[in-house]
Chain A
Amino acid sequence: MLTIENLQVEVDGKPILRGLNLELPAGQVHAIMGPNGSGKSTLAHVLAGKPGYTVTGGSVTFNGRDLLGLSPEERAGEGVFLAFQYPVEIPGVNNVYMLKAALNGIRKHRGLGEINAVEFLAMVKAKTASLGLKESLLNRPVNQGFSGGEKKRNEVFQMSVLEPTLAVLDETDSGLDIDALRIVAEGVNQLRDPKRSFLVVTHYQRLLDYIVPDVVHVLAQGQIIKSGTRELALELEARGYDWLLQAVA
């Protein structure tokens, strides 16, 4: 599904990712952990195509396509979704209106016609119900006046409507209390599917109590320095990152 080979990325001439390799098969959940400044968010942004990053080497192949050659909207069309660490407010634009534009953009990319408005409304209402969200969420302006927890839940809601094949979660747990965390994680778990892969970027193993990963990768100094199972995350929590960094050095 997703193959990252020797990816090198700079921001303002400063190297952030220095030869990152990653293989994410369909249907799996991989967690990316690592100390501050290791390049976790950069990886998430580069996968979604955020401007401001310069790829200086390597490749990212997604379902056989060169992902790096696509615009952000084309990547969404191909099935990539980024759940933002800091979701952006768009005043005056209804959530549901934005989602309809998004879904139609994706459908257009896939050569499909626009979705029927009645079907669309029925679909989003069903999704809000299954995620335990209020329908009032639909007609609120995108993220405007939302609490931290509401913003993250809205990201998961958008994900459930757009049904990506690759979902990248950028520190979705940051700023959430334990109840909000559980709700968000449950939403993600509902979306787990043999055809859908998740890349979960997180600081803390706490999130992985709820979203149980198949593989845990440690990202440090712009490279994956160790990969392992769920237990690796627990070990990191107990011992920190220093022992790993020293082992690499």
Chain B
Amino acid sequence: MSAPNTDVQAFIGQKYEAGFVTDIEQEHLPPGLSEDTVRFISGKKGEPEWLLEWRLKAFRRWQEMKEPEWAHVHYPKIDYQSISYWAAPKSKADGPQSLADVDPKLIETYNKLGIPLEEQKMLAGVAVDVVFDSVSVHTTFKEKLADAGVIFCSFSEAVREHPELVRRYLGTVVPQHDNYFAALNSAVFSDGSFVYIPKNTRSPMELSTYFRMNAMNTGQFERTLIVADAGSYVSYLEGCTAPQRDENQLHAAVVELVVLDDAEIKYSTVQNWYPGDEEGRGGIYNFVTKRGDCRGRNSKISWTQVETGSAITWKYPSCVLKGENSVGEFYSVALTHNRQQADTGTKMIHIGRNTRSTIVSKGISAGRGQNAYRGLVRIAKSAEGARNYTQCDSLLIGDQCGAHTFPYVEVKNSSAKLEHEASTSKISEDQLFYLRSRGIGQEDAVNLIVNGFCKQVFKELPMEFAVEAQKLLSVSLEGAVG
């Protein structure tokens, strides 16, 4: 408690455990963005002509678009010409096929992050695709999944091996010109994960992608496409980290989910990009478009996210509920500490009859963090009998942070039923004293209260992830009180 200030600062500086840099030989594209950049990326990946044309179309649309300014976040203008749009670890072949081809430095990096790439060391029942800067470096358990007919591979491989599937679904949920960042992604996306679950198949294991940004001044623009065919089910997890750097880095991803009749996708995210330091230097700009399309009858999409990282988060995982009786869910914990800013929430677009959606959002603000929930519930004229339940709670720690709520509701069918509950509370001195008087130390007491606040969301996460999320939250809150 009486440690000199510098010690305290060093302690805070250390707490982002994933903040190390991997010293590895990389191939870089110099900063700058033009049609040539798009052609370079496409060429590098040996893409077919149709995909290059698709990218170029997106690029042309992007050039005509304006960066959105409506979000409740503040940052200096991004110079898109100062970013490098391609960085990849040098490798012998065009993407390693077996683990023996993966640079040992990469394997060590992922071991350090707690993601061993050797299958026997993996969590039982989870297959992982690891994306390092612009490329996917390895996917585990591919054979086992293939036996079940499940396709799980890097996006680049999907373009090569399953072009018909990619072509059929790419951009059908998030069109190229959907928004500024989605258009940018469509033009320059480098890699990501592709999943296809065939009809009436339950994926034999949970699928997971781990994103790592390493190179300096580089943006990461990955693209994820998951298709759940009729009667299928998959649980997919996503994790992210980046080194600690003084410059801001851009991460503009697009995730598209397609769910057909009676199928379900459960999509969980634990986002821990580098958040910047206590003065707001550095950190990731996480500007992400995630949307799922419930195309089939009785289809279901469930988004669960725990957002503790990034300097700025701009993210609204959404569900378009087209199929009759389809269900959309959004469970979110977003934490902002120090100078972090988050503007996050969801959109539930009800189009089909008897569609249902649930939104549970938990925002935690500490330090000078600013946390906004922004949600849209739209009931179309066709959505007879639609229902939505929204619960939106904010927890404030200290008196210099902020919580903001922007709920939008549009109802065009009078049979719809919508409920909205919202609360804002502070961790009270009385709660803290009560727990401390029982023998629980101050930081543990704060963690206990915060975990209780987030419980509704954590119970939606797969078990291993829930434990991880709790730990992450307590690390992110270190020094928030006292």
Which residue numbers of A lie inside 8 Å of B, CB to CB?
48-52, 71-73, 75-77, 81-82, 84, 87-88, 90-93, 97-99, 101-103, 105-106, 109, 141, 158, 162
Determine the residue in chain A with the shortest Cβ distance to B425: A91
Q: Which of A49, A82, A90 contacts B448 (CB 8 A)?
A: A90
Q: B451 to A76, Cβ gap below 8 A?
A: no
Q: How large is the interface on B (under 10, 10 to 19, 20 to 34, 35 or more residues)?
A: 20 to 34
- B437 contact set on A, CB distance < 8 A: 48-50, 72-73, 75-76, 81-82
| Distance in Å: Cβ of A186 to nearest Cβ of chain B | 22
Q: How far is the CA of A93 from the CA of B458 in the complex (A)?
A: 13
| Distance in Å: Cβ of B455 to nearest Cβ of chain A | 4
Q: How far is the CA of A221 from the CA of B437 in the complex (A)?
A: 27
Q: B433 to A93, Cβ gap below 8 A?
A: no
Is B65 among interface residues, defined by CB-CB distance under 8 A? no
Report if A50-B433 is in contact (Cβ < 8 Å); known contacts: A91-B452, A101-B448: yes
Report if A76-B434 is in contact (Cβ < 8 Å); known contacts: A92-B455, A93-B448: no
Q: B430 to A77, Cβ gap below 8 A?
A: no
Q: How far is the CA of A246 from the CA of B423 in the complex (A)?
A: 51
Q: A92 to B451, Cβ gap below 8 A?
A: yes
Q: A93 to B452, Cβ gap below 8 A?
A: yes
Report if A91-B453 is in contact (Cβ < 8 Å); known contacts: A101-B444, A101-B448, A105-B441: yes
Q: B429 to A51, Cβ gap below 8 A?
A: yes
Report if A77-B436 is in contact (Cβ < 8 Å); known contacts: A90-B448, A93-B449, A93-B451: no
Q: How far is the CA of A162 from the CA of B439 in the complex (A)?
A: 9
| Distance in Å: Cβ of A211 to nearest Cβ of chain B | 21
Which residue numbers of B lie inside 8 Å of A, CB to CB?
428-431, 433-442, 444, 448-449, 451-456
- A92 contact set on B, CB distance < 8 A: 451-456
Q: A103 to B452, Cβ gap below 8 A?
A: no
Q: Which of B430, B436, B453, B455 contacts A76 (CB 8 A)?
A: B436
Q: How far is the CA of A79 from the CA of B196 in the complex (A)?
A: 59
Q: How far is the CA of A162 from the CA of B430 in the complex (A)?
A: 20
22 contacts between A and B (CB under 8 A): A50-B437, A51-B429, A52-B429, A71-B442, A73-B440, A73-B441, A77-B439, A88-B428, A88-B433, A90-B431, A91-B452, A92-B454, A92-B455, A93-B451, A98-B448, A101-B435, A101-B440, A102-B439, A102-B440, A105-B439, A109-B439, A162-B438
Q: B430 to A73, Cβ gap below 8 A?
A: no
Determine the residue in chain B with the shortest Cβ distance to A78: B439
Q: Which 7 pairs of residues, A with B, have the shortest CB-CB distance?
A: A92-B452, A76-B439, A93-B452, A102-B438, A105-B439, A72-B436, A106-B439
- B441 contact set on A, CB distance < 8 A: 73, 105
Q: B455 to A71, Cβ gap below 8 A?
A: no
| Distance in Å: Cβ of B238 to nearest Cβ of chain A | 25
Q: A73 to B452, Cβ gap below 8 A?
A: no
Q: How far is the CA of A73 from the CA of B439 in the complex (A)?
A: 4
- A52 contact set on B, CB distance < 8 A: 429
Determine the residue in chain A with the shortest Cβ distance to B433: A50
- B435 contact set on A, CB distance < 8 A: 90, 98, 101-102
Q: A73 to B451, Cβ gap below 8 A?
A: no
Q: B440 to A105, Cβ gap below 8 A?
A: yes
Determine the residue in chain A with the shortest Cβ distance to B458: A92
Q: A84 to B456, Cβ gap below 8 A?
A: no
- B438 contact set on A, CB distance < 8 A: 76, 81, 98-99, 102, 105, 158, 162
| Distance in Å: Cβ of A34 to nearest Cβ of chain B | 23
Q: A71 to B436, Cβ gap below 8 A?
A: yes
| Distance in Å: Cβ of B331 to nearest Cβ of chain A | 14
Q: How far is the CA of A77 from the CA of B439 in the complex (A)?
A: 6
| Distance in Å: Cβ of A145 to nearest Cβ of chain B | 14
Q: How far is the CA of A227 from the CA of B107 in the complex (A)?
A: 74
- A90 contact set on B, CB distance < 8 A: 431, 434-435, 448-449, 452
- A88 contact set on B, CB distance < 8 A: 428, 430-431, 433-434
